[in-house]
Amino acid sequence: MKISINVIGLGFVGLTTALGFSEKKFDTVFVENNKAKFDIIQKGKIPFKEPYLDKILKKNIKKRNIFFSPKPKILKNNTNVIFICVGTPSRKNGSIDLKHVIKAIQEISNIVNKEKVLIVIKSTVLPGTISKKLNRIIKKKNISICSNPEFLREGYAWKDFIKTDKIVIGYKKKEDLNILKKIYKKFSGDIVADTTDTAEFIKYLSNSLLGNLISFSNEMTIIGENNPKINIKKSFNAVKLDKRWFGYPAMISTYLHPGLGYGGYCLPKDISAMNFMSQESKINNGIIASTQKINKLIFIHQAKKIIKKFKTNQKIGILGVSFKPGSDDIRSSKSLDIINFLIKKGYKKIYTFDPIVKKGSLGKISKKIKHSNFLKKDNQMKYVLCTAWKEYISFLKSEKNLDYIDLRYLI
């Protein structure tokens, strides 16, 4: 069955999206209810500045696979895929206004009869919006909704869409995922598919990270400029020379990963010192203080998973004692924090495993545990992955019928 594409909302995201599909030879309906904007685009002009779009629009109009309409067009005997790219502006209290999204969905519902229609939300909406709100609007079984958030940078929108690094799809029905995979088969980029809630969250996770990096840089600038002898520009440029920002094995992306928090020697010490210095100088250091706070909160959050799943009289195997794989450093090791937590909660059958950490280096805690550098399967044991040693990840993946908790999100 042929795929027919509609794109509702011809702003920065919508026009780029519509042109991208038409460039890939899909028949695409450009939908815009703002008459002034609609007239401008229909004449082959762009109502805002964005590189490449004007040339692509004029070229594809000549190809005659672009159709303009103030309302979506539903074609019989086609799979109608309708991308909603309308705005979700902020209200005064900071919440987003969904009225344009809801209006578009209602308009689609009113004109659909028995045709198969897949609505795809590109507009930025909070996690749970589709599953808890938008799905309730749909009353017809032949209409379903997916999430497909955008990651376009102004000034680079065309390049980001045509040669994207990722295509995020949130879906409920497998057939809907297959339709979107068929569309995006013509594009570059890894497909990340999961629930609509996950897809919506990925968008906010991405933007929040970027915002945090900017705020972190600015907070460090405020702290640094408290000392007139510090060259801020040179300091940041020096950090950017770190090879971990580039395509080396130890990429910076390894720091962007859920887990037990940071440990070792440097990060706990340096962040603690920076926090103290800022407080002593009476400088607002919200991000650094929060970094320490979250590092404690995430440990409690993860540790509670163990006592919720495993009983105190069961054998608990802690996989990994060092603060990170490839090291025997146990300073500020979250694994040791987990062990101490379990001991305080009354667990008496604790077994620890680490390829290189010796029992003699564990101090007082060694009297309350059984430690080994060698791991063997024990069907009576409940395992907790605390350090991401490759051999332990392989063990949990390969051995069947193991009861375990992965606190490193790698299995």
Q: What Rg do the C-alpha atoms of the chain give, in angstroms? A: 27
Given the residues 85, 146, 266, 386, select the one marked as catalytic. 266
In a 10 Å sphere around its CB, with 0-12 CB exposed, 13-18 middle and 19+ buried, how is residue 397 labelled?
A: exposed
Please, are residues 82 and 8 in contact by the beta-carbon 8 Å criterion? yes
Pairing of strands 350-353, 166-170: unpaired
Could you confirm whether 266 is annotated as catalytic? Answer: yes
Please, are residues 84 and 105 in contact by the beta-carbon 8 Å criterion? yes
Please, are residues 19 and 57 in contact by the beta-carbon 8 Å criterion? yes
How many whole angstroms separate alpha carbon 73 and alpha carbon 56? Answer: 23
φ/ψ bin of 117: left (φ > 0), alpha (ψ from -120 to 50), beta (otherwise): beta
Here the tokens at position 184 are 């995006």
Q: Active-site positions?
A: 266
